[in-house]
């Protein structure tokens, strides 16, 4: 089995706590052969924890021939610049999200990959979440009928005061968290190019100027309405997944889903009438019926309950097949580009926040 030799840029929460954690569980497929971090204390930590002397500058990697993939977990505002440089120098790159500040930055990196015959990926692992995959399976079964609306809620009540609250650092909730529910939403809509966007943002109690409240509606011809909510100002439990269908509905989160639906053949026969409804005694009544509903639920297995690992390892296992067998990858750059366009439109609609 071929082992992918990895250079990891950044040893912060993403680099150390996400990528190294995941890669260490796939030792037969991946090996980290180089670390880069501009912070001296982090470089000491790398030496202490991994027995490898870390580099200070990613440009020290550029002449190396023992690297198959560079994981770019640098600061968000450096993602596009560093990815572009690496791709230009002949490396395959996996970038943390947000991949870029805007579509122009992202397009430059995509173009660099194409012109240099390299592969460029963005780490959007939520498409591999067990609950999301199960939700898609239920919808595709047809039990819920035609989907009218889906809602993805990423809510909590928390204050934040780090660099990822500063809009000038390519931060804020839409760029930090938004790529995940946006990816879900666009996937559910079939990645239509003619998407109309409504987005309201607010800086509720963040210490920076980056938004910590986002309400977004996405519409496209022939597609369900997509609703995304990211809020640091709602602390009561709300299900992550909600689906409205013509014959049923679904709700739930990563710990389980439940859905109910009716079957056409079991439903009472009804006919449209424009006359006021009444009983045989002429008493006016409301238009209602008792549909015979079927109810089902899904509970994740032990592996699926560890959502962090399930989606992260799902991503890296699929990436390995792409790198070694040239299989098409699930998350495509044209899909990321559509996210970039929507993000820019959302910021345009809320430009008063950043004047």
CATH of the domain at 89: 3.40.50.720
Structure tokens at 239: 């299900």
What does the pLDDT read at residue 73? 97
Residues 80 and 92 in one domain: yes
| Same domain flag for 46 and 109 | yes
Q: What is the pLDDT of residue 280?
A: 87
Strand 293-298 with 256-262, pairing: antiparallel
Task: Answer yes or no: are the C-beta atoms of 298 and 129 closer than 8 Å.
Answer: no
Q: Which of 123, 149, 174 is the last residue of a domain?
A: 123
Q: Give the CA count within 13 Å in the CB-facing half-sphere of 276.
A: 6
The stretches of the chain forming alpha helices (DSSP H) are: 21-23, 40-50, 79-88, 103-115, 130-140, 173-176, 179-189, 302-305, 307-325, 333-349
CATH number of 143's domain: 3.30.360.10
Q: Which residues of the chain have pLDDT under 70?
A: 355
Query: Which of these three, 62, 97, 123, is where a domain ends?
Result: 123
pLDDT in tens, 138-182: 999 999 999 999 999 999 999 999 989 999 899 999 999 999 999
Cis peptide before 98 (omega within 30 of 0): yes
Alpha carbon distance 336, 103 (integer Å): 9
Same domain as 220, residue 93: no
Residue 105's domain comprises 4-123
Residue 168 lies in a domain: yes
The domain tally of the chain equals 2
Predicted pLDDT of residue 354: 77
Residues 289 and 142 in one domain: yes
133-141: long-range contacts at Cβ-Cβ below 8 A with a sequence spacing of 24 or more?
134/257, 134/298, 135/241, 135/243, 135/250, 135/252, 135/257, 136/187, 136/188, 138/250, 138/257, 138/259, 138/298, 139/188, 139/243, 139/245, 139/250
Query: 157: which strand partners?
Result: 233
HSE-CB for 179 with a 13 A CA cutoff = 25
Tokens 């991946």 found at: 30
Q: Are 266 and 244 contained in the same domain?
A: yes
Task: Look at residue 353 in the predicted model and tell me its pLDDT.
Answer: 85
Q: Are residues 181 and 59 in the same domain?
A: no
Q: Do 88 and 224 lie in a common domain? A: no
Residues pairing with 230 in the sheet: 154, 214
Mean of pLDDT over the chain: 95
Tracing tokens 């098409």 back to the chain, one arrives at: 328
Q: Whose CA is closest to 292, among 264, 312, 311, 327?
A: 264
Q: Is residue 297 part of a domain?
A: yes
Q: Is 315 within the bounds of a domain? A: no
174-195 CB burial, b ≥16 within 10 A, e <16:
bbbbbbbbbbbbbbbbebeeeb
Predicted pLDDT at 1 = 77
Q: Which of 91, 108, 123 is the last residue of a domain?
A: 123
Residues 48 and 142 in one domain: no
Q: Is 124 exposed, middle or buried (0-12, 13-18, 19+ CB in 10 A)?
A: buried
Which phi and psi angles does 22 have, rounded to 5°? -70, -45
Sign of the dihedral defined by the CA atoms of residues 11, 330, 110, 209, in that order: negative
**Residue 48 forms part of a structural domain:** yes
Task: Say which residues have a Cβ less than 8 Å from residue 232's Cβ, sequence separation at least 6.
Answer: 156, 157, 158, 159, 160, 173, 204, 205, 206, 212, 213
* CA distance linking residue 36 with residue 49, whole number of Å: 14
């Amino acid at each position: 089995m071929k082992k992918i030799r990895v250079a990891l840029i950044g040893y912060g929460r993403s680099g150390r706590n996400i990528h190294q954690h995941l890669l260490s569980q796939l030792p037969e497929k991946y090996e980290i052969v180089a670390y880069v971090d501009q912070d001296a204390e982090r470089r000491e930590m790398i030496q202490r924890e991994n027995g490898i002397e870390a580099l200070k500058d990613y440009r020290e990697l550029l002449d190396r021939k023992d690297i198959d993939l560079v994981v770019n977990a640098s600061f968000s505002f450096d993602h596009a610049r560093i990815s572009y440089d690496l791709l230009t120098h002949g490396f395959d790159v996996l970038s943390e999200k947000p991949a870029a500040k805007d579509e122009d930055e992202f397009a430059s990196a995509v173009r660099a990959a194409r012109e240099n015959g390299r592969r460029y990926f963005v780490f959007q692992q939520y498409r591999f979440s067990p609950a999301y995959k199960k939700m898609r399976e239920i919808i595709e079964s047809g039990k819920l009928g035609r989907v009218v609306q889906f809602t993805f809620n990423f809510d909590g009540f928390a204050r934040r005061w780090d660099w990822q609250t500063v809009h000038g650092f390519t931060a804020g909730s839409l760029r930090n968290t938004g790529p995940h529910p946006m990816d879900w939403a666009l996937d559910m809509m079939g990645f239509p190019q003619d998407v109309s966007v409504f987005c309201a943002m607010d800086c509720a109690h963040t210490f920076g100027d980056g938004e910590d409240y986002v309400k977004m509606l996405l519409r496209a011809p022939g597609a369900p309405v997509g609703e995304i909510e990211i809020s640091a100002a709602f602390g009561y439990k709300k299900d992550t997944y909600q689906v409205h269908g013509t014959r049923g509905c679904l709700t739930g989160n990563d710990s389980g889903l439940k859905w109910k639906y009716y079957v056409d053949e079991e439903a009472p026969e009804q006919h449209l009438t424009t006359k006021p409804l009444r009983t045989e005694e002429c008493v006016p009544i409301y238009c209602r019926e008792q549909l015979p509903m079927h109810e089902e639920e899904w509970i994740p297995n032990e592996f699926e309950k560890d959502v962090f690992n399930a989606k992260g390892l799902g991503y890296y296992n699929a990436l390995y097949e792409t790198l070694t067998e040239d299989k098409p990858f699930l998350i495509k750059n044209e899909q990321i580009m559509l996210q970039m366009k929507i993000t820019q439109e959302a910021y345009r609609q809320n430009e008063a926040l950043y004047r």
